Amino acid sequence: MDGTAGLVVVVEDDPVIADVERIYLTDAGFSVHVSRTAEAGLAAIRTLRPVAAVVDVGLPDGDGIDLCKRLRADEDWTPVLFATARDAEVDRILGIELGGDDYMTKPFSGRELAARVKGLVRRSQIGLRSAVLRVGPVRLDARARVVDVDGAPVQLTATEFDLLAYLMASPGRVFDRAQLLSAVWGVADYRGSRTVDVHVAQLRAKLGDTAGLRTVRGVGYVLGAG
């Protein structure tokens, strides 16, 4: 493929896994730059400005989560997908809380990886029909990709922004987890994933109680009056 989908930086020290990721991402239309260490990966993301990054959590010179944290501290919101062999839920939640946009647990399907990355890129670049959405004190500018609450700016990851935009596009409508996972992450099968729950919790913490992001017990989530 010619790389017209954009550049993806893969940060992975295992050459076999890195090669599999490179092959599937290339087949999906991306060009791929592979870094073997956290420091090299961080430098590549800062220099090459990729459309997304696939970052291993366990790296020989540090933690992929720390790499992401350093990016976010520099106001770099490149979409990050964590690839991890750690199956503990706390690691998954920690990664998302520190600014990651998605995660996959090894071993994973190369096709699913490519689909997840394509979804991240699509969501980070997509525009909405209405450039500005308002629900209560929350204002979202889709073109500038900025959010404020009562005039105070709120920093969101790419996925948090897209989740909020989706909820704001239908204020008062209750969405179940499967609907949100399909619409925002592009994944059809919920399969018990806590991805949606974690991102909603992060949004609620960042937006504050006045935003009106509520859990409807036994159903899902809603923004605004029901």
The overall average pLDDT reported for the chain is 86
145 and 53 in a common domain = no
181 and 145 in a common domain = yes
Q: Is residue 1 part of a domain?
A: no
DSSP assignment of the chain equals ---TT-EEEEE-S-HHHHHHHHHHHHHTT-EEEEESSHHHHHHHHHHH--SEEEEESEETTEEHHHHHHHHHHTT----EEEEES---HHHHHHHHHTT--EEEESS--HHHHHHHHHHHHHHHH---SSSEEEETTEEEETTTTEEEETTEEE---HHHHHHHHHHHTSTT--EEHHHHIIIII--S--TT--HHHHHHHHHHHHH-GGG-EEEETTTEEEES--
pTM value is 0.68
What integer pLDDT is reported at residue 166 of this predicted model? 87
138 and 88 in a common domain = no
Q: Is residue 197 part of a domain?
A: yes
63 and 145 in a common domain = no
78 and 35 in a common domain = yes
**Residue 53 belongs to domain spanning:** 7-125
Task: Give the CATH number of the domain where residue 140 resides.
Answer: 1.10.10.10
60-64, 118-122, 125-129: the lowest-pLDDT one: 125-129
What integer pLDDT is reported at residue 204 of this predicted model? 93
153 and 217 in a common domain = yes
Q: How many domains does the chain have?
A: 2
